[in-house]
Amino acid sequence: MTGRYAPSPTGALHLGNLRTALLAWLFARSAGSRFLLRIEDLDAGRVRAEHEAGQLADLEGIGLDWDDAPVRQSDRSDLYRAALELIDTYPCFCTRAEIREAASAPHGSPAGDPYPGTCRNFTRGEQARRERSGRPPALRVRASGAHVTVTDRLAGPIGAPIDDFVVRRNDGAFAYNLAVVVDDAEQGVQEVVRGADLLSSTPRQVWLAGALGLAAPSHAHVPLVLGADGSRLAKRHGSVTLAERPEDPEYVRGMLAASLGLAEPGSAPSMEQLLARFDPAGLPTRPWTFS
């Protein structure tokens, strides 16, 4: 069950990110499997080389290792471009505000279909008129009407209708949902362990894998880390990155392990000890509140 962790180098990893990375490593290594690292750097306007270096150092600092050199999505455009040729897409000129407005109309899109299909059936003449307006289009895949049920190892069965989602943004960048499906298949990833905030994107990705004739990995979406105010952990909560913690990395690893029921509070277990104690069935199912 080859696993992976795939951070975006747009800032420092916080403790919630490190906790998810630790879990992804434990899922893979406890099964005797390979563990890969992928740098998801498609958002060229936000990624920074120093963030990537800091993230790799923090992952190593808490004891993680990985097989093979990390790959970068920015080096894989040919793979994504080839995938686009295999699926039925159409240009979409809608802004986010227009999509929200259409969805809130009295006869807007049904629940579970966030894109109302405004551009789906445009004639070539209408497309040309929109193009002359100067607004660059995104590309959407024709998927509306499909329904996918995913069985998550922790969350159970998740069923969702699939809308016509974006596979290439209007700035020309390949969309996350396309890149992650292509990457996981090309790298032989068999199990994706990630935060529960990404659960809603999984049915789309499973559908797209099928449309591309690729095998979809299994999934385990782990509970998030929350701040004391009950919102998802973020910089505003203070001292949430490894660099901001006065303790050594081993102590921070122990704190994360304790939040998972794998260690006593205040202890600093080794990676070998965590592997020996790890049982996916015993993981907490509720978010961890950090303070």
Of the pLDDT bands very low, low, confident and very high (cuts 50, 70, 90), residue 5 is: very high
Backbone phi and psi for residue 64, each to the nearest 5 degrees, phi listed first: -85, 150
The pLDDT tens digits of the residues spanning 130-185 come to: 888 888 999 999 998 899 999 999 989 989 999 999 999 999 999 999 999 999 99
* CA 46 from centre of chain: 17
Could you tell me which residue, 30 or 248, shows the higher pLDDT?
30
Q: What is the dihedral of CA 144, 150, 155, 159, to 10 degrees?
A: 40
8 Å CB contact between 50 and 11 = no
Residue 195, Cα to own-chain centre: how many angstroms? Answer: 8
- Work out the number of other CB atoms within 10 angstroms of the CB of residue 108: 15
- State the pLDDT at residue 103: 57
Instruction: Write b or e for each residue in 232-268: b if 16 or more Cβ atoms lie within 10 A of its Cβ, otherwise e.
Output: bbeeebeebbbeeeeeebbebbbbbbbbbebbeeeeb
Q: Are 232 and 287 in contact (CB under 8 A)?
A: no
Q: What percentage of the chain carries pLDDT values higher than 90?
A: 78
DSSP SS3 for 143: coil
Over residues 66-82, the mean pLDDT reads: 97
* pLDDT > 70 in the chain, percent: 96
- Per-residue pLDDT band at 112 (split at 50, 70, 90): very low
Q: Which of 81-95, 230-244, 245-259 has the lowest mean pLDDT?
A: 230-244
Q: What is the pLDDT of residue 53?
A: 97
Point out the catalytic residue in the list 82, 112, 235, 244.
235
Q: How far is CA 260 from CA 2, 26, 207, 279, in A?
A: 22, 11, 31, 10
Residue type, 147: H
The gap between the terminal CA atoms of the chain, to the nearest Å, is 34
What pLDDT shows up at residue 102? 65
pTM to 2 decimal places? 0.92
Question: Residue 101 above 80 pLDDT?
Answer: no
- The confidence score (pLDDT) of residue 19 equals 97
Cα 27 to its chain centre, rounded Å, is 17
Instruction: Check pLDDT > 90 for residue 260.
Output: yes
- pLDDT one-digit tens code per residue, 26-35: 999 999 999 9
The DSSP-derived string for 193-247 is: EEEGGGGGGHHHHHHHHHHTT-PPPEEEEEPPEE-TTSSBP-GGGSS-BGGG-SS
Structure tokens at 132: 């002359």
**In this model, does residue 254 exceed pLDDT 90?**
yes
**Is 267 labeled as catalytic in the residue annotation?**
no
Q: Where are the alpha helices (DSSP H) in 3-46?
A: 15-30
